[in-house]
Structure 1
Amino acid sequence: MFESLLELGPAALVAEVEATYRQESMLVARRMAAVAALLRDRVAAAERVGGRVEHAEIDGFDQTRAEVAAAMNLSPLAASYLVS
């Protein structure tokens, strides 16, 4: 998979670094947009329920943080940083 990189010269390798960095940036932006949309949905759902749920003490942020942590195999602290 990466053997073809051994055949490239320095300029082509720099171009590859640039191209893959752009691709990575687009993927990160898409992930962040998905996290923001999930947070928006979870906060809105929690506000609709209001105080009517007596058995749960989790808000939209906490729910989003837990889901993101599970989906990305992150610690709660790392997911909290990502969601905020």
Structure 2
Amino acid sequence: MKTAGVKAPLTEGKSSQNTDDYKLMYTIPTLPGSSGSPVLDEKGRLVSVNFAGISYTQNFNYGIQPGKIRAFLKKCDISI
């Protein structure tokens, strides 16, 4: 597959905690504008979708688990 020359960086991190039923906290550095980026496991499976970070550090960020996103879309009658 050809791209426009943009390469996505791969960064290793650890899932540090499930903060509630929806959010997953992990230690992967992200930058502003990374919301919506996938967080993948070592096999390339989607673990969460990045949505927020702690402003005073890059190393603690939050994602939403894919099952929760699917449930929300289904509840809103949005098919994917």
How does the TM-score come out when normalised to structure 2?
Answer: 0.23
How does the TM-score come out when normalised to structure 1?
Answer: 0.22
- Structure having the larger proportion of residues in helix: 1
Structure number with greater Rg is: 1
- Structure having the larger proportion of residues in strand: 2
